[in-house]
Amino acid sequence: MQDVFDRTSASWSLRALALGGIVMVLATAGCTEKPLASAALQLPPDMKANLTAAALANATARNCKTALRFNEAGFEKFAKTVRDFYAANGAGNFNERTLDGYLDSKEMQNEFLAYVEKRDILLTEDASWCAAGDAEIAAASPVGAFLRKRS
């Protein structure tokens, strides 16, 4: 695979690609001033896996605007589960600050890089993002669950 980015730009790329729609949905529950930057890393493994899948799906949809869209309704349902988990455990709200902590984590950067490599995505080529998204939908993968084909 052609290397079209380096690891130092991966964090910025991931945030730019994934933050938009996800933050809007999570922020609807309000904000907290508690320092939660690392709290996302304490999510149960299944929630963390779904958050990763949602971030990857959002990045894919943002780079394949002509054929794919992010499944906002599916994500809202998941986001409610995460917000409820945080509230039930006295951790405050899962919000933009919390999400930033997760997206900036080395773990998430590695997930993003692995996804790009696995799907042979060239960051500057929309067609490679679209092919990756189509494959995720066809496989009914966790990433594919957060993607929809445009009609």
The per-residue pLDDT for 93 is 67
Q: CA 10 to CA 34: how far, in whole Å?
A: 27
Phi first, then psi: what are they for 75, rounded to 5°?
A: -70, -40
- pLDDT at res. 96: 66
Q: The whole model's pTM is what?
A: 0.72
> Which are the contacts of 114, defined by CB distance < 8 A and separation ≥ 6?
none
Q: Which residues of the chain have pLDDT under 50?
A: 1-41
14 SS3 class: helix
Kind and range of the H or E run holding 72? helix 72-88
Q: List the structure tokens of 106.
A: 């080395």
Residue 48: what pLDDT?
A: 87
Tokens of 64: 């394949």
Element containing residue 108 per DSSP (H, E): helix 106-118
The residue type found at 124 is T
* Secondary structure class of 68 (helix, strand, coil): strand
CA distance 42 to 91: 10
Contact assessment for residue 136 and residue 144, using Cβ atoms and an 8 Å cutoff: yes
**H/E run at residue 81:** helix 72-88
